Every structure is written in structure tokens, then in C-alpha cells.
Amino acid sequence: MDFVGKRKLWYFLSILVIIPGIIAMATHRPPLNLGIDFTGGNLLQVKFEQPVETSQVREALKEFNLEQASIQTAGPNEFLLRTPVLTEEESTRMLDSLKEKFGNLDIKRNERVGAVIGAELTRKGLYALALATVLMVIYIGFRFEFLFGIAAVVALLHDVLVTVGLFALFRWEVNSAFVAAILTIIGYSINDTIVIFDRIRENLRLRKKESLEELVNKSIAQSLTRCINTVTTVVMALLALLILGGDTTKFFALTLLIGTVSGTYSSIFTASPLWIDLRNLTQGRRRTARAKVRRATSP
């Protein structure tokens, strides 16, 4: 399989997946469906003993001017209510009123995040992303070379964009676990990319007369079984979590699933071809510069 020669096709495929997500982020305000972890607000998960309809719950919330709240079913007679920040008193009053109207209920979750904490989480999440990226470029630059670092980071941004883009497109809710998932994806994606880069580094040392394209193709082919087998085990673990895990871990598993699959794709089809392009670019420039010097100094 020609991984490097068809690189324009692979780049195009990546862009095809990423563009809709970017459009979704550009056209929505806020760009992502942010959960209460970021925006601040209340989240209430209740299960009624008697049959209750969504419309009835919405009607009941009118009394508290919360008819705009997001109401989602989470099972039979079970609802997830998301509202702006309520005080303890307001939330107690709301619960009492629900009990009075629809009978006994089981409070499965009752969460409130203040706006201050939400803003902090956003800030810290972005810091974490930036810091982790910089540290990894430095590490790869130190262990390999600078261009490998750049190519790896582009591949990593690719995976983040794919994942975040899909979340934007489908309006899946983003919470604090999402930040952890994205950072894990970064770690995994880099991990995967490095395994191939490591092979390129090794083959470069033994390089005979083959072209750089051939060498990279060979390195990818040599790493391919490992990449596929590894991602298979990860996907198996995550699928188990996605299918069998509880509601709270589902989106976490989904995020990781998208990210790891994208991470494997980008290690094979984005990072290494890109490294060749970057290398040709810088070497080409150096060569033309050298040629210019020669021309200028020759009589």
C-alpha cells in the first residue's frame, strides 16, 4: 500500500471530516454544547414512581420560570433537567413542587456548579491543552528532531479537531470528563505517531539508496500490524465501556473511541507523509539557497 504517494488523498479525507465540524462550531453560539461544568447551572436527574410525561414536567417548571430548561428523558419516568444556576432554596422549592404534583421521586443526581467554577474549568482546560502540547513538542524535538515534533503536533491537532468537530456537529454535551478525554487522546495519538517515527528514525540509520518516500512507506508498513492490533485492543475496551457502561461513562468512552481511531489514522496517513512534505520544504529551500550562493560566487 502506498501511504506516502497518495498523501494528497489522505489529507483531503481528513479535511472532509474536519470541515463540517468547523462549520458547526462557527455557526453555533457557543461553538460547543457546553454542560454545566463550563457554564455553571443545575443538573437534576429524577425518577418518578408514577408515570410522568416530559410535557407535564415542563408545565410544572413554568411556576419557576424554568420552562426554557432542557428536559431530557433518561429512562422510564426518569428525567434529566438542566437549568441555569439555582440557589439551594430554589432547587429545594422546585423539588418539593415536583413531589407534590407527581408523587414520590428518587433523586439520582443533583448537581450545581457555580459560574465562577465553570469559567475556571474552561481556563484550566485550555491551559492544560496548550501546556501538554508544548511539552510534547519539546520532548520529541529532544528525542527525535524538530520537524518530527511539528508533524506529530499537526497529527494531534487533527485528532482533536476531528473529535471536537464531531461533538460540535452532533451537539453532544461537553463536560469536564471531555477535557480529560481530549488530553488522553493527545497522549494516545502522540504515542501512536512516535512508534512510526521511531521506525523511520531506525531505518534512516540503515538507509541505503532508497528514496525518502520509499523509506517512510516501508517504515509505516513495518509498524502497521502493531498499530492495527493496538487500536483493536483499545477499541474493544472502549466499546465494552460504551455499550455496557453507565450513562455517565458513555460519552467519555465515545470521545475516546473517536479520538483513538482518528489517532491511529493520523499516525499512518497524516504524520509521516507530512514529515516528508516538511522535510522537502525545508531542504528544498536550503538547496535553492545553496544554489543561489554558488551561482553568486561562481565567476
Applying CB under 8 A, which residues contact another protein?
45, 47, 88, 92, 95, 106-114, 116-117, 124-125, 127-128, 131-132, 135-136, 139-140, 143, 176-177, 179-180, 183-184, 186-188, 190-192, 194-195, 198-199, 202, 222-223, 225-226, 229-230, 232-234, 236-241, 243-246, 248-249, 252-253, 256
Specify the residue, 22 or 235, whose C-beta has the smaller distance to another protein.
235
8-state DSSP, 147: H
Cβ distance 149 to 265 under 8 Å? no
Specify the residue, 70 or 92, whose C-beta has the smaller distance to another protein.
92
Residue 287 C-beta: closest distance to another protein, Å: 30
Radius of gyration of the chain (CA): 25
Residue 45 C-beta: closest distance to another protein, Å: 7
Residue 234 C-beta: closest distance to another protein, Å: 4
Q: Residue 250 and residue 234: Cα distance in Å, rounded?
A: 15
Specify the residue, 6 or 47, whose C-beta has the smaller distance to another protein.
47
Contacts of 81 (CB under 8 A, 6+ apart): 42, 43, 44, 45, 46, 57, 61, 69, 70, 71, 72
Residue 194 C-beta: closest distance to another protein, Å: 4
Specify the residue, 143 or 287, whose C-beta has the smaller distance to another protein.
143
Specify the residue, 165 or 263, whose C-beta has the smaller distance to another protein.
263
C-alpha dihedral, 200 to 202 to 206 to 210, nearest 10°: -10
Cell numbers 468537530 correspond to what residue? Answer: 165
CA triplet 181, 182, 184: central angle to 5 degrees? 65
Residue 247 C-beta: closest distance to another protein, Å: 8
CA nearest to 262, candidates 186, 169, 151: 186
